[in-house]
Amino acid sequence: MPGRWEHDLEIAVPVGFWPHRAGPLTIENGCLSEKTEIVYDLGHLDHYALEEALKWKDRWGVKVTVVSVGPETHEEGMRQALSLGADEAVRLWDESLESFFPSAAAVKARMLAAWISERGCLLVLCGDKSSGSGSGMVGRYLAHFLARPNLVSVIQIDPLSESKLKVTCRGEKGSRLIYECPIPVVLSVGRGSETRYPTLPGRLAARQAEIPVFNLAQLQVEPAEIGVLASYARTARLAPARLKPKKILTPDSSMSASDRMKMILSGGVKKKKGNVAEGSQGGAAQIYDLLRQEGLV
Amino acid sequence: MQIWVVVEGDDHGLRESSREVLTAATTVAGGVLAAAVVLAPDKENLVQEVMEFGPQTIYLHEEGSPSVTGEDYAEFLGELIERERPGLVLAAETQFGKGLLSRTALQYRMPIFPDCLGISQGPESLLFERLWYGERVSALLTSAAERPVLATWREGIVNVKKCPGLNSTVQKVRPQVQTLNLTRFLEEVKADPLTVDLSEAEVIVAGGGGMGSAAGFQLIQELAELIGAAVGGSRVARDNGWIPLKRQIGQTGKTVAPRLIISCGISGATQHTFGMRDAKKIIAINKDKNAPIFKIADAGIVGDVHEVLPELIKRIKEGKQNARPVGA
């Protein structure tokens, strides 16, 4: 592959450090309870984004830097990323952000954008949705602030040339959508191939690693701008998630009583007057014709 | 506050997810929806159906084309919102809906709440319910920005209820489609029908108690492989261990919406038909001519599946053989 990448290309992987999906979690007075020993982990999809970046590192020796917007607790997660093979970790944080974290995707993206454009990372791979607020908006906002294209639900990234990528995304009905896009780009990575485990030397090195922190002033972001972006979404309170709502069959109230009963008895399927044939020979022939009409045989 | 809904349509008319949002939005609005924005061709009485939810105004873009993505309409929607100033604009959490609203939110600096499970009136402003931390915590969010708010509603959680009786005025619009040529679409690779999730399958062959045994159920597998369909089954098939739970259709299994479903040896109990009520075409094979499945089937065959299926499989194989060019 193009030699330029071996030296120049740096992949930025924005990650988050959130309560583990299977760990304990309790809510008290509308906030996460401090009493529970919450187990934290890198965002579920951040693992996949990092894996894609590390695949590029394995193949072409590009540099992979993880960057996170979050309080000091996030450093543990960044060390986890370092132990998996990331080259460097950077944390962006300002104490003024505490009050509206983690709901403000726009704020996170603004800070990431400031750091990424300063650093000049051409390729940004982030998780499709964070395991925190899970809005899936950080990647979109980031692309917007950086004026770069953005593709979501990405599951495979292949280089076409020095400045072009072939990107495979998950589409509806289980299909795959394939795009060609230029570099620089922001790609939101979805659930893809298996992720790797950390190595022991990796873990030891990660323990020692220095994680620099940048605040708003260092990033040259105006607090007023952050204030506007933060006003977009505020957390009122948290509550234990109610049972997943599921659709049930409820007949339209405008229908007559007898129609409603018929609908309930049929399981919601409209009665049809299809023709019914008897006998296996004729039946098979009829189905065969129907399948032919549908273009299946 | 004025509430708007952006609806989507496809070849079969109004999308189910759009019906759900229309229902939810009418409830949030307290009974009267201010407007519906229709960005789809008026097929299969789509506009008529939107009217049944009683929006006061319908902004209709008649030439909506399926090849245009949601993002392409962002400028049009943004301008329309800036001009009319609704308080809240909703769409379904689909590729189209999310693409359109998120780009509008970015370009016009409006707050957006994606994938909401509920919207209610709080003490000061609206409260948006979302799921956090891997869907384990429900978070109530508000917006303090003095801008119209955008939100997408999760699919499949609202029972559709129409609100007829009000007359809507239809306003035709001609949106400027603005395509951002940043990426180029190359191709779409369809999913392998044998491994695709049942709820996303286009064609399904389903078997029930009438298949008799695991060996009998092999006929379903064989037919599915021949016509490129996914395999499904009823609760009976699942209880007998012929299919895993993820292949069960019905109230306690998956809800499917294929283009065509072939039901073999399934009587058609309510619990099963509930899970397949969105199937476009149903072919049923059953030896009991009074089986309820025949009442909802587009084509029914009264006969033993163990005779009909082998005959059908034979025909399909013969058809394939004949189609093969000489010498191949």
For helices B305-323 and B214-227, angle between their N-to-C axes, nearest 10 degrees: 30
pLDDT at A78 over 50: yes
Q: Supply the pLDDT for residue B325.
A: 61
CB contact under 8 A, B102 and A140: yes
What is the pLDDT, as a whole number, of residue A235? 83
User: Is B157 a domain residue?
Assistant: yes
Dist. CA A226–CA A51, nearest whole Å: 31
**Whole-number percent of chain A with pLDDT over 70:** 92
A170 in Cβ contact with A141 (< 8 Å): no
> Percentage of chain B with pLDDT > 90?
42
**Residue B117 · residue B157 · CB < 8 Å:** yes
pLDDT score recorded for residue B327: 47
Co-location of B25 and B160 in the same domain: yes
Confidence (pLDDT) at A207: 92
Determine if the peptide bond prior to A184 is cis (ω within 30°): yes
Whether B279 and B214 share a structural domain: yes
Tell me the sheet residues that pair with B206.
B232, B263
Using a CB-CB cut-off of 8 Å, the residues of chain B touching A179 are 183-186
* Strand order through the sheet with B260-264: A275-278, B299-302, B281-286, B260-264, B203-207, B230-233
The chain B residue lying nearest A264, using CA atoms, is B270
B29: CATH:
3.40.50.620
Residues B205 and B72 placed together within one structural domain of the fold: no
Residue A34 has pLDDT above 80, yes or no: no
Residue A276: band (very low, low, confident or very high) from pLDDT cuts 50, 70, 90: confident
What pLDDT sits at residue B202?
A: 87
**Is the pLDDT score of A103 beyond 70?**
no
Q: Which residues of B touch A148 (CB under 8 A)?
A: 182
Chain A residues closer than 8 Å to B252 by CB: none
Task: Provide the pLDDT for residue A155.
Answer: 92
Place of tokens 């059953």: B286
For chain A, the average pLDDT equals 86
- The answer to whether residues B90 and B203 belong to one domain is no
How would residue B238 be classed by pLDDT, with cut points 50, 70 and 90?
A: very high
> Per mean pLDDT, which of A82-91, B116-125, B286-295 is the most reliable?
A82-91
Contact call for A25 and B95, based on CB within 8 A: no
**Helix, strand, or coil here: B143?**
coil
Residue A261: strand, helix, or coil: helix
pLDDT at B73 over 80: yes
- Round to whole Å and give the CA distance between A12 and B274: 47
Check pLDDT > 70 for residue A2: no
Q: Helix (H, G, I), strand (E, B), or coil: what is residue A294? A: coil
Give the per-residue pLDDT at B171.
86
Instruction: Please give the backbone phi and psi of residue A155, each rounded to the nearest 5 degrees, phi first.
Output: -125, -10
A152-184 confidence digits (pLDDT tens): 899 999 999 888 999 999 887 778 889 999 989
Surface of B (142-171) touching A: CB under 8 A:
142-145, 156-162, 164
Assess B83–A contact: CB distance below 8 Å, yes or no.
no
Residue B328 has pLDDT above 50, yes or no: no
Distance CA A290, CA A275 (A): 12
In a domain? residue B188? no
Same domain assignment for residues B130 and B227: no
Q: B44 and B12 in contact (C-beta within 8 Å)?
A: yes
Of B229, B255, B295, the CB nearest to A271: B295
Structural domain includes residue B181? no
Q: Are residues B107 and B206 both part of a single domain? A: no
Q: Does B168 share its domain with B226? A: no
For the beta sheet containing A150-161, the strands, ordered from the edge strand earlier in sequence to the opposite edge, are A213-214, A88-92, A63-69, A10-14, A123-127, A185-189, A150-161, A164-170, A176-182, B184-189
The better pLDDT of the pair B122, B77 is held by B77
- With a threshold of 0.85, tell me whether the complex ipTM lies above it: no
Q: Which domains does chain A have, with CATH numbers?
A: 4-230 (3.40.50.620), 257-293 (no CATH)
More confident residue, B234 or B328: B234
pLDDT of residue B285: 93
Q: Please indicate, yes or no, whether residues B131 and B207 belong to a single structural domain of this protein.
A: no
Tell me if B154 is assigned to some domain.
yes
Bridge partners of residue A240, in order along the sequence? B137
Q: Any residues with CB less than 8 A from the CB of A271 and at least 6 apart, and which?
A: A262, B295, B296
Long-range contacts of A101-104 (CB under 8 A, 24+ apart): A101/A70, A101/A71, A102/A16, A102/A70, A102/A130, A102/A132, A102/A133, A103/A133, A103/A233, A103/A234, A103/A235, A103/B139, A103/B141, A104/A229, A104/A230, A104/A232, A104/A233
- At residue B155, the pLDDT reads 86
The answer as to whether B177 is a domain residue is: no
For the cut 50, the answer to whether the pLDDT of residue A26 exceeds it is yes
Q: What is the pLDDT of residues A203-240, one digit of tens each?
A: 999 999 999 999 999 999 998 888 888 888 888 888 88
pLDDT single digits (tens) B246-290: 999 998 888 898 989 999 999 988 889 888 888 889 999 999 989
| For residue B149, pLDDT beyond 60 | yes
| Residue B183 covered by a domain | no
Among B3-12, B21-30, B40-49, B278-287, the least confident range = B40-49
Domain final residue, candidates B172, B189, B211: B172
Contact (CB<8Å) B136/A21: yes
Q: Which residue segment(s) compose the domain that B44 sits in?
A: 3-172
Task: Characterise B279 by phi-psi region: left (phi > 0), alpha (psi -120 to 50), beta (else).
Answer: beta
Residue at B127 is within a domain: yes
- Chain A positions touching B202 (Cβ under 8 A) are 173
> Which residues of chain B does A39 touch, with a Cβ-Cβ cutoff of 8 Å?
none
Q: What CATH number corresponds to the domain at position B313?
A: 3.40.50.1220
For residues B225 and B300, membership in a common domain is answered with yes
Q: Are B11 and B116 contained in the same domain?
A: yes
- How many structural domains are present in chain B? 2
Which of A21, A272, A294 shows the shortest C-beta gap to B297? A272
Q: What angle do CA B182, B188, B194 make, to 5 degrees?
A: 150
Please write the tens of the pLDDT for every residue from A46-77. 999 999 999 999 988 899 999 999 888 889 99
pLDDT one-digit tens code per residue, B106-118: 889 999 999 999 9
Q: Is the minimum CB–CB distance between B257 and chain A shorter than 8 Å?
A: no
Q: Do B104 and B220 reside in the same domain of the chain? A: no
Please provide the average confidence, as pLDDT, over all residues in chain B. Answer: 87
Q: Which two tokens stand for residue A42?
A: 């890198």
Residue A152: both structure tokens together: 């979501």
Question: For chains A and B, what is the number of CB pairs under 8 angstroms?
Answer: 274
Whether A239 sits inside 8 A of B185 (CB atoms) is no
The predicted structure's pLDDT at residue A173: 73
Identify whether residues B92 and B135 lie together within a single domain: yes
Q: How far apart are CA A211 and CA A278, in angstroms?
A: 76
Q: What percent of chain A has pLDDT over 90?
A: 41
Residue B49 within any structural domain of the chain: yes
